[in-house]
Amino acid sequence: MSEQEDSDHIAMWGAPGSGKTTLLAALSFALLQRRGPWRLVGTDPASIEILRDKSAALARREFPPATIDIERFRWLLLGDPVQLQKRFAGRFNGKARTMPAPRVGLNLIDPPGGVYTDKERPADHAKLLENLQRSRGIVYLFDPIREFEDGNAFEYLHGALIQLASRMLAEDAPSDGRLPHYLAVCITKFDDRRVLETAEKLNLVTTDPDDPHGFPAVDDENAQTLFHNLCDISASGSAEFVMGALEQYFRPDRIKFFVTSSIGFYLKPGTRGFNPRDYQNMVRKPQDGTNGREPSTEFEIRGQARPINVREPVTWLAEQIYADQLKPGNGR
């Protein structure tokens, strides 16, 4: 059983500073808060504590410090069989109530972004690749802000992909020469003005009529269009290769795009609706020259964190993996 769980886990992947750790915090925040078919629980005391700490820090409007050491989380996504039954009707054969709760291991390794390319830490590097290799689903974070400024996503991604592919293909080559993983491509930092404005210019922004705050959103079907365009305006111009690389290594039907924000848009306390004139939720901290101390991170969250679309990529992956678990011949 535990082996099974281990092999069904989800890994996280993204360039340094792309928002991995913040996404984790937002994810715990969002999954702990919202009702839905999936719940998040820790499986050992340390992971339970981290889960609590991360969401609490976000509630304090703090960004996590840059990750220095690999952090491991053994979390578990527990599905509500009743809710999931509706979605996977037919596969349960009416036996939902007797089935154990669906579970997908969320063995997240939050590496310092640099480790994926860092040749000076071969042990960590190998562990990471192994983690990626053994995972069934990958949350890939694409940070458009970094792309505007540095444009290093391709270099970063490609290096790791080649290594991953060569490892996997050497061991048990998939039939189509592609990796078997599900890939949730998360465009991060949607709350940033430059990302939102790009989406607006492309007419991709909608609002969910059920959203009491009327926050801008990009439907998942349009997320890929936004991704393409963000790649086009990337600083290095090489981001377009990111798309090519993803399509080359992953099966197109196993890739899904999400436009996400870990912190969401700012909502002025006491107001209800999104204010298009004042929505930036990240604020640079005062630099306190008087005591000579530099703050641990440059930014903090201005208002309440209101994660956008952070639950969805993970639950999408969980559901894909779960659906595979239900497939006949899968030993279940």
Partner 1 sequence: MLELGAAGLVVYQLSRDEAGIPRCWVEPVRPWPGPGGEYGWAADPEPARNAILDMLAATGGGPALLVVTHAGGATDQALAWLREARPDAAAGTAPGADLTALLRRAMAEDPLTLSYDLVVLTRAPGSGRLEFAGHPLFPIGSRRGDTVGVPFHCEFSDPAGVAFAVVAWEGKTPDLLSLHAAALPPGAHELTAELRAPGRVRLTGLSGLAPDRRDWSDLIASVPGHWRPHASPSHLICAIETCGEAYTVGDRLDRAEQMVKEAAGRLPGRLRVSLLTYGAHAYEFKAKQEPVRVLEWAADPARSLDALTRLRLDLTVRPGYPDGAQVEDMLAEVLDGLGREHGGDHTALLIVGGRPPHPPYARSHILPCPDEHDWEELALRFESRPGATLGVICDRPADQAGPEWFRLGRAALADLSSVDIPAFGTALGLAARDQRINFPLM
Ligand X SMILES: Nc1nc2c(ncn2[C@@H]2O[C@H](COP(=O)(O)OP(=O)(O)OP(=O)(O)O)[C@@H](O)[C@H]2O)c(=O)[nH]1
Rounded Cα–Cα distance for residues 41 and 75 (Å):
6
Rounded Cα–Cα distance for residues 62 and 33 (Å):
18
What is the DSSP code (8-state) at residue 154? H
Amino acid at 170: A
Contact 9, 135 (CB under 8 A): yes
Q: Per rule CB under 5 A, is residue 309 in the interface with Mg ion?
A: no
Contact 270, 303 (CB under 8 A): no
> With respect to ligand X, which residue has the nearer C-beta, 78 or 310?
310
Rounded Cα–Cα distance for residues 208 and 104 (Å):
29
Q: Per rule CB under 5 A, is residue 222 in the interface with Mg ion?
A: no
Rule CB under 8 A: choose which of 99, 202, 233, 283 binds partner 1. Answer: 283
Q: Per rule CB under 5 A, is residue 260 in the interface with Mg ion?
A: no
Q: Per-residue x/- marks for ligand X, 185-204, CB under 6 A?
A: ---xx-xx------------
Q: Per rule CB under 8 A, is residue 289 in the interface with partner 1?
A: yes
Q: Per rule CB under 8 A, is residue 284 in the interface with partner 1?
A: yes
Q: Per rule CB under 6 A, is residue 17 in the interface with ligand X?
A: yes
Q: Which stretch binds ligand X (CB under 6 A): 16-24, 31-39, 96-104, 225-233?
A: 16-24
Q: Per rule CB under 6 A, is residue 113 in the interface with ligand X?
A: yes
Rounded Cα–Cα distance for residues 119 and 160 (Å):
11
Residue 12 Ramachandran class (φ > 0 left, ψ -120 to 50 alpha, else beta): beta
Q: Per rule CB under 8 A, is residue 302 in the interface with partner 1?
A: yes
Per-position b or e across 230-242, b if 16+ CB within 10 A of its CB: bbeebeeebbebb
Q: Per rule CB under 6 A, is residue 19 in the interface with ligand X?
A: yes
Rule CB under 8 A: choose which of 287, 294, 330, 332 binds partner 1. Answer: 287
The residues in 170-199 that bind partner 1, with binding defined as CB under 8 A, are: 193
Q: Are strands 182-187 and 255-259 parallel, antiparallel or unpaired?
A: parallel
Q: In the numeric block, which tokens belong to residue 272? A: 């209800």
The residues in 10-69 that bind Mg ion, with binding defined as CB under 5 A, are: 20-21, 67
What Å distances lie between residue 14 and 22, 36, 49, 159, 297, CA to CA? 12, 27, 24, 12, 19
Q: How far is the CB of 151 from partner 1 (least distance, A)?
A: 18
In the chain, what's the furthest Cα-to-Cα distance?
68
Give the binding-site size for partner 1 (rule: CB under 8 A).
19
Q: Select from partner 1, ligand X, Mg ion, none the partner in contact with residue 226, using the beta carbon and a kind-dependent cut-off of 5 to 8 Å.
A: none
How many CB atoms within 10 Å of residue 50? 22
The residues in 51-80 that bind ligand X, with binding defined as CB under 6 A, are: 63-64, 66-67
Q: Per-residue x/- marks for partner 1, 24-63, CB under 8 A?
A: -------------------------------------x--
Q: Phi and psi dihedrals of 105, rounded to 5?
A: -70, 135
Q: In the numeric block, which tokens belong to residue 102? A: 């669906």
Q: Per rule CB under 8 A, is residue 292 in the interface with partner 1?
A: no
Q: Per rule CB under 6 A, is residue 21 in the interface with ligand X?
A: yes
Q: Which stretch binds ligand X (CB under 6 A): 18-26, 97-105, 204-212, 213-221?
A: 18-26
Contact 243, 227 (CB under 8 A): yes
Contact 178, 251 (CB under 8 A): yes
Site of interaction with ligand X (CB under 6 A)? 14, 16-22, 63-64, 66-67, 112-113, 188-189, 191-192, 261-263, 282, 297, 299
Site of interaction with partner 1 (CB under 8 A)? 61, 193, 269, 276-280, 283-290, 300, 302-303
